[in-house]
Structure 1
Amino acid sequence: MSILRRSLIAGLAALAVAVAIPSRPVVAQSGDVVVFAAASLKNALDEIAADYTKKTGKKVAISYAASSALARQIEQGAPAQVFVSADQKWMDYAAAKGLIEPASRSDILGNRIVLVAPKDVAKPIEIKAGFDLGKFLGNGRLAIGAVASVPAGTYAKESLEKLGAWDGVKGKLAEAESVRAALLLVSRGETPYGIVYQTDAAADPNVAVVGTFPPESHTPILYPATLVKDAGADGTAFLAFMRSAAARKAYEKQGFTVLY
């Protein structure tokens, strides 16, 4: 791949983070409920927050990013009241640092990871032990969340290793700072394939799912939600709404498995 093309891919990944997913905590107005949530929750939580505001008059300010970035921002003093992670690792990190209210923590959603391609060229791929994803990529690259820090990337690497496909792709990665940034690379046709959550694929009309990773090939994808320390009554009320029957429809519409 040319240096120019590599630079373009890197630039688009950065743009995706800058435009779609704020990399810094949101600045809340007085009286807002402040929520830090995994990037893959954006469509569902935006709808839930709008419904909550309509019903209560309380505004909800939501910062979306990779769970790792959000946990570290909370650690640095960012004023979140609710934290929703896309994996247990970064929720455990926040718990170990004494940043959350442990009694309020519970797994609210499940998800799956899928292989996506630009919709106009998408063809089905059977994902199974021994499949050669590197062959399908050719000279292209695989859009993926940063495997060391983004939960979607971590799940993807784990699955590819178990299926015997990792060695064929590890030198062809376009790692992004969030799963939504990885999705954007595929959506714009800058990479031929990407690994994202099935809920992300459902949110972008420019991509199509070409294969689904076997759930037994990776750690279960669970979304724990919790109150941050000293969240107060507003945070408690919104977390309860996120776990309510009223919120279920928004999650299911995006393809999440509701666990509460």
Structure 2
Amino acid sequence: MKRLLSALAVLALTATMATAAEKVTVFAAASMKDVIDEAARQFSAKDGTQIVASYAASSALAKQIEAGAPAQIFISADLDWMSYLARRKLIDPASRQIIAGNALIIATDQAMADSDARTLLDARRFAMGDPSNVPAGKYGKAALETLGLWGEVKKNAVFTENVRLALQYVVLGEVKAAIVYASDRMAAPELKEAYRFPASSHAPILYPAALIEKNASDQARAFLAFLTGPAGQAIITARGFMGAAEAKS
């Protein structure tokens, strides 16, 4: 009887460990939500691996990982916050890679026909990510500075904690425009792209991904490989991002 109970205990422990191993925790920039949700659905359908994703500004996620949050994969909306974790030796450097790219636009409601950045932003309130810590906000401020507009329009800016919230401000009618990524507008088809910032007005918008060294499992490695493979890249481009090859070119 004791041997049977011992064997059952071992089997139960093995089953528990297997269940835990089939869960992958992804910390991803808010702008990647639609991509990761769909990638998780497709990946889970193959072998039952559960993908649990947390979305927020890259800065907030990096700080959480630094504080010990149990993420296995980090996907940032800019290079700086990935480098922040790299300097603290919290990522597997060999796994770090660019998985996508993006463009920066001004999204407005359908009633607006303006196409000039100054006109769109100078006479009305607009939303954008907080330039002090949100990558989309940093890119937006840099682009407006390059165009010589930041000094004129910053008085109208409503800063948000992530780029998706800036988009929602327009959808809800709280503001008339928002500086967001081109991919974000696809989540709000009722809005239109009124202006696209020249690529030369800001640093390239790149999405690095990496494994969190102390937490990464074989399943996490497999999911990251899925994102960089043909199926994952098809999801990325279908949702308005540039694929990895184009982003790095």
Q: Same fold (TM over 0.5)?
A: yes
Gaps (5+ residues) in structure 1?
Answer: 1-28
Corresponding position: 1:218 with 2:209: no
Counterparts in 2 of 1:36-185, with a 5 A limit? 36-119=27-110, 121-127=111-117, 131-135=118-122, 138=123, 140-185=124-169
Contact 2:104 2:197 in 1 (8 A): yes
Contact 2:126 2:178 in 1 (8 A): yes
Q: Against the structure 1 CA distance between its residues 165 and 57, is the aligned structure 2 distance closer, same or farther, given a 3 Å change threshold?
A: same
For 1:57 and 1:33, how far apart are their aligned partners in 2? 11
Partner of 1:6: none
The one-letter code matched in structure 1 to 2:181 is Y
Question: Share of identical aligned residues, percent?
Answer: 44
The CA deviation string for residues 53-94 of structure 1, in whole angstroms up to 9 with x for no partner, is 001110100001000000000000000000000000100101
Contact 1:94 1:100 in 2 (8 A): yes
For 1:81 and 1:175, how far apart are their aligned partners in 2? 30
Contact 1:142 1:174 in 2 (8 A): yes
Deviation for aligned residue 1:142 = 1.3
For 2:191 and 2:39, how far apart are their aligned partners in 1? 24
The CA deviation string for residues 99-148 of structure 1, in whole angstroms up to 9 with x for no partner, is 100111011111001001122x1214134xxx45543xx2x311000110
Partner of 1:238: 223
The one-letter code matched in structure 2 to 1:258 is G
For 1:107 and 1:198, how far apart are their aligned partners in 2? 18
Partner of 1:252: 237
Contact 1:134 1:165 in 2 (8 A): no
Larger radius of gyration: 2
For 1:244 and 1:54, how far apart are their aligned partners in 2? 16
Gaps (5+ residues) in structure 2?
Answer: 1-18
Q: Which moved more, 1:54-63 or 1:243-252?
A: 243-252
The CA deviation string for residues 144-176 of structure 1, in whole angstroms up to 9 with x for no partner, is 001100000000000000001101111111110
RMSD across aligned C-alpha pairs, in angstroms? Answer: 1.3
- TM-score, normalising length: structure 2: 0.87
How many corresponding residue pairs?
A: 225
Q: Against the structure 1 CA distance between its residues 126 and 173, is the aligned structure 2 distance closer, same or farther, given a 3 Å change threshold?
A: closer
Deviation for aligned residue 1:179 = 0.2
Deviation for aligned residue 1:252 = 1.0
Counterparts in 2 of 1:30-41, with a 5 A limit? 30=20, 31-41=22-32
Q: Secondary structure at the match of 2:155?
A: coil
Partner of 2:171: 187
For 1:132 and 1:180, how far apart are their aligned partners in 2? 23
For 2:199 and 2:143, how far apart are their aligned partners in 1? 9
Contact 1:132 1:165 in 2 (8 A): no
- TM-score, normalising length: structure 1: 0.84
